[in-house]
Amino acid sequence: MLFNSIDFAIFFPIVFLLFWLFAKKLTLRNILILISSYIFYGWWDWRFLFLIAISSLVDFIIGQKIYKANSKKKKKGFLLVSLIVNLGFLFYFKYTNFFVDTFVNAFTLFGKQLEISTLNIILPVGISFYTFQTLSYTIDIYRNKLKPTKNALAFFSFVAFFPQLVAGPIERASHLLPQFYKLNKFNYNQVKSGFLLIAFGLFKKMVIADRAAIIVNQVYNNPADYSGVEIIIATVLFAFQIYCDFSGYSDIAIGTARTLGFDLMKNFDSPYFSKSITEFWHRWHISLSTWFRDYVYIPLGGSKNGKYKTYKNLFIVFVVSGLWHSAAMTFIIWGAIHGAIIVLEKATKKVRFNIYSKIGLGKKSISSNLLFSIITFSIVCFAWIFFRANNFEDALILISKISLENFTILFTDQLYNLGLGKNELIILLIAIISLLGFEVIHKRKNVVNLLREQPLFFRWVFYSIIIFTIIIFGVYGDNDTSQFIYFQF
């Protein structure tokens, strides 16, 4: 079920009303959450509900076993069962065809042709997200950072919690699970801020992301037909498309949970204002980057064993991050680019600081911050080419054609041949500028708190403008356009 669908517009008000009707009865409330979450997920394909149920059951039992085990060896054995079951599901559905193709191609290099066809495997929506979420539970118990729950209903509800089930944020059991043990009191300001966050998310998704997708799809699906500035325009718009699509989903997820009295972690923090790739990953998909830090980077040794092993660990984490997104060479390269730049930034930190100080960029100023933000954004956009390209060959074609040779397109009607007419393009640019302006204001003062300080009339005018903007200027396209990008991961 999509957040931006009629189905969800009918589904959520019913859940919201029933939730607060049962709010004083914890068991009934959690039963409602579990049933609602399974309906929400099963709306796409009910058969894959068995995967969530099995994963939940296995980790609920394994969590108890790990905690009660009287030796390190037994604890490791039980943890291994959890890893095999969860990662087994993930690898089968997500990576089987990738490794079959790689195996066949390897033999082709030696002149051998293997007749092995890939399997018709459907990727379950959100499997990468809820797999990581439930794994954090058993790993934290193994590390003695968490005690297992004896409440199966609460645990199953935690794993399947519908606001963030299919695209995050990837929650930790230590943060979200305890919230299923306590009753929530209706708080008007909390509920109102939740609905406001939902509106912001829908604005990002429907007004910006889905509109930008029209140009992005036109150019990236036909790379041989475009060149120069056209590819640059499409790439920059993809940067905003994927940001508004994914952060929009996170806003709706966090807002939806907040209207029910639940608190989800922040997943984005104005990433395109970052002044380095390292900073970018402190602001982009925060729940994933911190998961990899805690469950991959630190177990590899982190930064404890010298700088060269630190660089190796960082690079491995980002390559694995690329592979987590999708089993394709383009995503591995995307991850490797970010990993290589972060290693370079870490290795040259002192040298760069000395150089910047000598040329007047050492001190923080608007001009230096703007310069570093533009450089960082340019690197991020270059990496996005591999992320968005349909395949490796298309990515190379797109990169080879980047230039400023036909910059005059910006001043002619040829610009409107990319998929959006003049008025639609103006709407998109105004929406992007408005979003960036909003983020600048939000960094200085929380917008929700700022709104509370305004007169009642002003607040409702503001709410009405957002609602009507979504209704009037939202893009209502086919399923390929309205689908959230991260559903495929």
What secondary structure does DSSP assign to 124-190, as a single string?
Answer: PTTHHHHHHHHHHHHHHHHTTS-PPPS-HHHHHHHHH-GGGTTT-----HHHHGGGGSSPPPP-HHH
Residue 10: predicted pLDDT: 92
309 vs 326 pLDDT, higher one: 309
Write down the domain spans for the chain.
6-186, 190-488
Span 117-137, average pLDDT = 78
> What's the CA gap between 223 and 396, in Å, rounded?
10
Q: Averaged over 460-470, what is the pLDDT? A: 88
Task: Tell me what the mean pLDDT of segment 420-428 comes to.
Answer: 91
Residue 106's pLDDT band (boundaries 50, 70, 90)?
Answer: low
Residue 267 near residue 287 (C-beta atoms within 8 A) = yes
CA pair distance 339, 236, nearest whole angstrom: 21
Mean pLDDT of 344-361: 79
* pLDDT given at position 451: 80
Smallest Cα–Cα separation from 79: which of 61, 103, 101?
Answer: 61
With CA atoms as reference, report the closest residue to 29 among 186, 168, 173, 148: 186
Q: Does pLDDT of 160 surpass 60?
A: yes
- On the question of pLDDT at 391 being above 80, the answer is yes
Residues 6+ apart with CB under 8 A from 250: 167, 168, 169, 201, 267, 268
- Whether pLDDT at 101 is above 70: no
Residue 102: pLDDT over 70 = no
Question: Among 19-28, 37-46, 477-486, which is the least confidently predicted range?
Answer: 477-486
φ, ψ of residue 341 in degrees (nearest 5): -65, -40
Tell me: pLDDT of 117 over 60: no
pLDDT in tens, 194-207: 999 999 999 999 99
Tell me which residues are annotated as active site: 325
Q: What is the pLDDT of residues 65-88, one digit of tens each?
A: 999 998 889 999 999 999 999 988
Query: Cα separation of 303 and 313, whole Å?
Result: 8
Count the neighbouring beta carbons within 10 Å of the beta carbon of residue 136: 22
Position 433 scores a pLDDT of 94
Residue-wise pLDDT tens digits, 239-262: 999 999 999 999 999 999 999 999
pLDDT at 100: 64
Q: For 338-363, what is the mean pLDDT?
A: 81
